[in-house]
Chain A
Amino acid sequence: MATDKHGGEPHSPLTQFEIKELVPFEVGGNSLAFTNSALMMVIAVTLILMLMLLGTRKRAMVPGRWQSAAELCYEFVANLIRDTVGNEGRKYFPFIFALFMFILFGNMLGMAPYSFTFTSHIAVTFAMAMVVFIGVTILGFAKHGIKFFSFFVPPGVPLWMWPLMIPIEVISYLSRPVSLAMRLFANMLAGHTLLKVFAGFVPALGAAGVLPLAFVGALTGLEFLIAFLQAYVFAILTCLYINDALHLH
C-alpha cells in the first residue's frame, strides 16, 4: 500500500501521480502488482476497443455517431501516415494507430476528475518511446543492412569533418527516444500539476478565488488541447522516424 514515507500531505499537487497498488502481487521480490496506472491502461484499451467495435458493427453507408467517431480516428491517422511516410507507410498503420489511440485515451482519461494519467509517468512514455526507437532501428537494418550506418554521415560532408559529424549524428539519433518520452511525460506532468496548483489557490483566496478559478477553467481547455496534441506529436514523430528508416537520406 502507499506509505507516507515522503511525508507529503494529502493535498500536495503531486499526490495525483502516486502509484497505488490495487492488487498486490509479487514475483521473486519484484512487485508486479496491479496498480491504478495499470487499471487506467486497461480502461483506455477497453474504451478504444468499444469505440472500434461499436463503430464497425453496422458498417453503414451513412455512418452513425459511433461509426463517424471511429472513422474520424481512422482517417486522421491514415492521413497522417500518408502525408508523412507515403504509400509504404500503410504497413505500419496498425502500430501507429494503436500508439496514437492509446496515448490519446490515456491523456484524455487523465482529464477526468479523480482519475490517473498514466502518460504522466516517464516509465510508461519511455517504454513506448523505446519500442518505437528499437523497432525503427530494426526496420532500418532490415531494409538497408549495413548501409544503415550511412545514416550517420550526412550527405555532402567532406571527409575531414566525419570525426566531428558522426558523434553528433549518433547522439542526435540516440536522443530520439529521450525527446519522445520526455516531451509527452513533461507536458502531462507539468499540465496536471499546474492545474492542481491553481486549483489550490481557489479556496485559499476566498472571494478573490474566482480569478484562479477562471484561470483553471481556461487551463483545463488548454490541457485538453495538449492532451490531443501530444498524442498527435508522438504519432507524427513515429511516422517521421519510420520514414527516415525506410528512405535513409
Chain B
Amino acid sequence: MMERKPPKPRDDLDDRLSQFRNERDAANGRTRNTDSTNNGLGFAMRIGVEVVAALVIGVAFGLFLDDWLGTKPWFLLVFFVFGAAAGMFNVYRVVQRQGGAVGYRQPDTPAPEVSKTDRDGE
C-alpha cells in the first residue's frame, strides 16, 4: 500500500512516527475508542448526574424569572418541565452516541479500517 522508505537514523524517528500517525489519522478520520476497559464504568458514572444537573438549571432559571417578573409559580412550573426534558435528553444522547450532551448526529466517520495490531503498536 505504501512504499517502504529506507531506514533512517533514529534522530528522525519522532518525525516519521508523527508523519505516520498523521497519514493514518487522515486516512480514517479519527479512530474510535473501542477497547478501553474503564470506558464502560466511566460511561456509567456520567449518566446519573445529567438529569439532576439539567433539573437544577431549569428550576434555578424558573425561580430567577419568577423573582424578576413577579409571576410567582408559572415560570418555575414551565422550566421545571423544560429542565426535566433536558435531563432526559441528556441521558438519551449519552446513551445513544456516547458523545457530548448537546447535538444529535454523530459526525460521519468512515468505519476505521485500522486493525487491532496497528492500534496496539502505538
Q: Which residues of A approach B to under 8 Å, CB–CB?
A: 61, 75, 79-80, 82-87, 151-152, 154-156, 167-169, 171-176, 178-179, 182-183, 186-187, 225, 228-230, 232-233, 236-237, 240-241, 243-244, 247-249
Contact = CB atoms under 8 A, between A and B. Distances in A.
A175 B82 contact: no
29 contacts: A80-B33, A82-B30, A82-B31, A86-B25, A86-B30, A87-B22, A171-B58, A171-B61, A171-B79, A171-B82, A171-B83, A171-B86, A172-B87, A173-B101, A175-B54, A175-B57, A175-B83, A175-B101, A179-B90, A183-B49, A229-B42, A229-B45, A233-B46, A237-B46, A244-B99, A248-B103, A249-B103, A249-B104, A249-B105
A81 to B, nearest CB: 10
A167 B32 CA distance: 31
Contact of B102 (A79, A85, A169, A182): A169
B50 A175 contact: yes
A246 B31 CA distance: 17
A175 B46 contact: no
A249 B46 CA distance: 21
B52 interface: yes
A168 B89 contact: yes
Nearest to B50: A179
A-B pairs with lowest CB-CB distance, top 8:
A179-B53, A86-B30, A249-B103, A83-B33, A172-B86, A240-B100, A178-B53, A175-B54
Nearest to A169: B102
B116 interface: no
Contacts of B83: 171, 175
Interface string B49-68: 11011101110010000000
Interface of B: 10, 22, 25-26, 29-33, 38, 41-42, 45-46, 48-50, 52-54, 56-58, 61, 79, 82-83, 85-87, 89-90, 99-105, 107, 122
Contacts of A230: 45
Given A86-B25, A168-B82, A233-B45, A244 B103 contact: yes
B31 A233 contact: no
A85 B30 CA distance: 8
B122 A175 contact: no
Contacts of B31: 82-83
A233 B22 contact: no
A176 B57 CA distance: 10
Contact of A236 (B22, B42, B87): B42
A86 B122 CA distance: 15
A172 B101 contact: yes
A157 B90 CA distance: 17
Contacts of A247: 107
B32 A233 contact: no
A112 to B, nearest CB: 22
Contacts of B101: 172-173, 175-176, 179
A183 B86 contact: no
A77 B90 CA distance: 25
Nearest to A242: B100
A154 B12 CA distance: 46
Contacts of B105: 155, 249
Given A155-B105, A174-B61, A249-B105, 17 more contacts: A82-B31, A84-B33, A155-B104, A167-B82, A171-B82, A172-B54, A172-B89, A178-B57, A179-B49, A179-B50, A182-B49, A182-B52, A183-B45, A187-B45, A244-B102, A244-B103, A249-B107
